[in-house]
Amino acid sequence: MGQDYRNKKITVMGLGLNGGGLACVRYFAESGAIVTATDLRSEEILRPSMELLKDLDVRYVLGEHRIEDFSGADIVIKNPAVPADSPYLKAAAQIETDLSVFLSACKNPIIAVTGSKGKSSVVSALYAILKMAYPQVWLGGNITVSPLTFLKELGPDDPIILELSSWQLRDLRGRNLLHPEISIITNIMNDHQNMYSSFSDYVDDKKEIYRGQKATQHAIFLEDEYGREFASECSARPHFYRDREEQFCLCGAEGEIEEREELLPEKLRVPGRYFRLNCLIAAATARLLGVETGIIRDALAAFKGVPHRMELVRTLRGVRYYNDTTATIPEAMAAGILSFNKPVRLIAGGKDKELDYHCALEALKTAEEIYLLKGSATNKIVDLLKKNDIAFKGPYPSLEEAFKAASKEAQEGDALLMSPGATSFGMFVNEFGRGDRFRELAEALN
């Protein structure tokens, strides 16, 4: 399946620790290519990925990039986070990503999901549903599983669910490679403004998810100003879901209700209205694919959610410890706080992405106690809290110290929630490392 890469010189830009670069290296090396993996991070940091590739013949250039590795390559595979104006990419004869390689070779039906928040929960819930209805379904993309890991194992009609970030979609623009049977944009919020010149550029990248669709295909959007704009532009049949209390329904293009809350079981395993909305999107998508309502309800009743996203780590002496480390914007932090009808002890803060925190003010007012981690975003949160006479503790120089303070004061019935509203860079390699450390701290309590 796909192009013949034997003896092709392939440079993978960004080996990384979360699957994408590693999967590219393995795929091309196993396809007979001559592979160079280059990354600005050190061998010490990247050792776990290198260990997983030790059975392959790979040349590593770590701690730096060398222009000759790009100018001399037949194909350069870029990481989505690398800006297009990189001088190294300008030296490349041909630039691809793991997604462009996958989509060039794959003819299977695809459900593509993007959005500012909720996309990982949606794709994971949909995967749980479809696993009960189809013998083989595959999940990959931004959820840290490169689709190249399963490209060679695909059956001809196996459905594929792809979670796509704005950066991944940006790299597909103008390529005419993405033609999903169903496209989904969960919502649009301020995010990654440290990486975009304008908010409209960010939204424009999201639109790539439906640009290649046909009239026989489907698109699902939130019923708001952005959703209406998307529906007016896309060629697929649009559907809307409504984000209103007690009104969980899927609507057609003219606003008529097509599916109601009967798609969902009465109780879900993760608290909060936003998780319920994410499950609704997954349920509606499954219905469009013809899955029976009973199967949908059974799958969602058993669905435990996604690691690092409102993940219940443990319950100890009546205190529930939740890891919501992927809440890296203020709106997601607010949603995490408001998911509970019990006292919330919040651990928050980190590095800023040029975001405004006023949208989280009402949610922050409801927190029982706030414990802040040091960082540039924390400085904004501190200013907001002080102006509104909201008490807080910290900022603490480490997660360990913030966790120790919060867990010591937590009482039976409390939810101890790490929902940072900011990135982890500076304190951790990424948000997943932050979440893993929170989990370790909670599991170490006795």
341 and 427 co-located in one domain: yes
240 and 380 co-located in one domain: no
Distance CA 187, CA 207 (A): 12
pLDDT in single tens digits along all 446 residues of the chain: 568 999 999 999 999 876 789 999 999 999 999 999 999 999 999 999 999 999 999 999 999 999 999 999 999 999 988 988 999 999 999 999 999 999 999 999 999 999 998 999 999 999 999 999 888 999 999 988 999 999 999 999 999 999 999 999 999 999 999 999 999 999 998 755 556 778 899 999 999 999 999 999 999 999 899 999 999 999 999 999 887 644 455 667 776 767 665 788 889 999 988 899 999 999 999 999 999 999 999 999 999 999 999 999 999 999 999 999 999 999 999 999 999 999 999 999 999 988 999 999 999 999 999 999 999 999 999 999 999 999 999 999 999 999 999 999 999 999 999 999 999 988 998 899 999 999 999 999 98
Distance CA 311, CA 270 (A): 8
Query: CA angle 218-222-226, nearest 5°?
Result: 100
- Whether residue 417 contacts residue 345, with contact meaning beta carbons closer than 8 Å, is answered with yes
Strand order in the sheet with 58-62: 58-62, 34-39, 9-13, 75-78, 95-96
140 and 275 co-located in one domain: yes
The answer to whether position 2 is within a domain reads no
64, 96, 128 - which closes a domain: 96
- Whether residue 98 contacts residue 168, with contact meaning beta carbons closer than 8 Å, is answered with no
The answer to whether the Cα torsion of 262, 268, 273, 277 is positive or negative is negative
108 and 233 co-located in one domain: yes
Q: What is the pLDDT, as a whole number, of residue 273?
A: 86
138 and 284 co-located in one domain: yes
206 and 89 co-located in one domain: no
283 and 374 co-located in one domain: no
The answer to whether position 1 is within a domain reads no
297 and 317 co-located in one domain: no
Question: Which amino acid does the sequence have at 261?
Answer: E
47, 78, 96 - which closes a domain: 96
Q: For position 71, which CATH number holds?
A: 3.40.50.720
Host domain of residue 340: 311-444
According to DSSP, the β-strands at 319-323 and 415-418 are parallel
Distance CA 310, CA 272 (A): 9
Distance CA 344, CA 205 (A): 36
Domain count of the fold of the chain:
3
The answer to whether position 4 is within a domain reads no
Q: What is the pLDDT, as a whole number, of residue 191?
A: 59
Distance CA 342, CA 336 (A): 12
Within the chain, what is the greatest distance between any pair of CA atoms? 65
Question: Which amino acid does the sequence have at 180?
Answer: P
89 and 120 co-located in one domain: no
Q: For position 361, which CATH number holds?
A: 3.90.190.20
Distance CA 217, CA 235 (A): 8
Q: For position 287, which CATH number holds?
A: 3.40.1190.10
Distance CA 59, CA 9 (A): 11
- Whether residue 108 contacts residue 157, with contact meaning beta carbons closer than 8 Å, is answered with yes
54 and 114 co-located in one domain: no
239 and 357 co-located in one domain: no
The answer to whether position 3 is within a domain reads no
Per residue, what are the HEC states of the chain? CCCCCCCCEEEEECCCCCCHHHHHHHHHHHCCCEEEEEECCCHHHHHHHHHHCCCCCEEEEECCCCHHHHHCCCEEEECCCCCCCCHHHHCCCCEECHHHHHHHHCCCCEEEEECCCCHHHHHHHHHHHHHHHCCCCEEEECCCECHHHCHHHCCCCCCEEEECCHHHHHHHCCCCCCCCCEEEECCCCCCCCCCCCCHHHHHHHHCHHHHCCCCCCEEEEECCHHHHHHHHHCCCEEEEECCCCCCCCEEECCCCEEECHHHCCCCCCCCCHHHHHHHHHHHHHHHHCCCCHHHHHHHHHHCCCECCECEEEEEECCEEEEECCCCCCHHHHHHHHCCCCCCEEEEECCECCCCCCHHHHHHHHHCCEEEEECCHHHHHHHHHHHHCCCCCEEEECCHHHHHHHHHHHCCCCCEEEECCCCECECCECCHHHHHHHHHHHHHHCC
302, 328, 343 - which closes a domain: 302
Predicted TM-score (pTM) of the model is 0.88
62 and 104 co-located in one domain: no
Measured in Å, how far apart are the chain's first and last C-alpha atoms?
A: 52
